[in-house]
Amino acid sequence: MIGYAPVGTILTANPGDRIADEPQTIEEKAKQMAVDTYDITGERVKVPTYFIVKYPDGETKALHHVRDAKEISDIIRQMHLEEEDTQESGEVKHWLNWVGLFFIMAFALMTTTILVGIF
């Protein structure tokens, strides 16, 4: 059987994927869920329709999870790069430090004196 949809009807897999005709505030968009159900394992799955992004210049945007997927990916990628930069700028931990070097030298000196005494 073939199903037909009336002209002008927006067909989506999830009712939450629909973008409202009337303008919504960012708070209203933040509350809207595209998917709110249980998966096959019984865990609850929630996918927001809009991801709220706050930019460094103070601007706040609501990005639709389907329509603005590329921009959301770019933002996540940028956040990941910034996170790596902050980790790299921290203090670098070396495997070799002065205390370890001191113990190695002391052990080598003690071993050398014992070996000289034996032979």
pLDDT at site 83:
75
How far apart are the C-alpha atoms of 29 and 64, rounded to whole Å? Answer: 9
CB 41 within 8 A of CB 33: no
How far apart are the C-alpha atoms of 15 and 17, rounded to whole Å? Answer: 5
Which domain covers residue 54, as residue numbers? Answer: 1-89
pLDDT at site 44:
93
pLDDT at site 84:
72
Q: Over the chain, what is the mean pLDDT?
A: 81
Residue 109 lies in a domain: no
- In this prediction the pTM is 0.56
Residue 115 lies in a domain: no
Which of the pair, 74 or 97, is modelled with greater confidence? 74
pLDDT at site 73:
92
Residue 107 lies in a domain: no
Whether 53 has a pLDDT exceeding 70, the answer reads: yes
Q: How many domains does the chain have?
A: 1
Residue 34 lies in a domain: yes
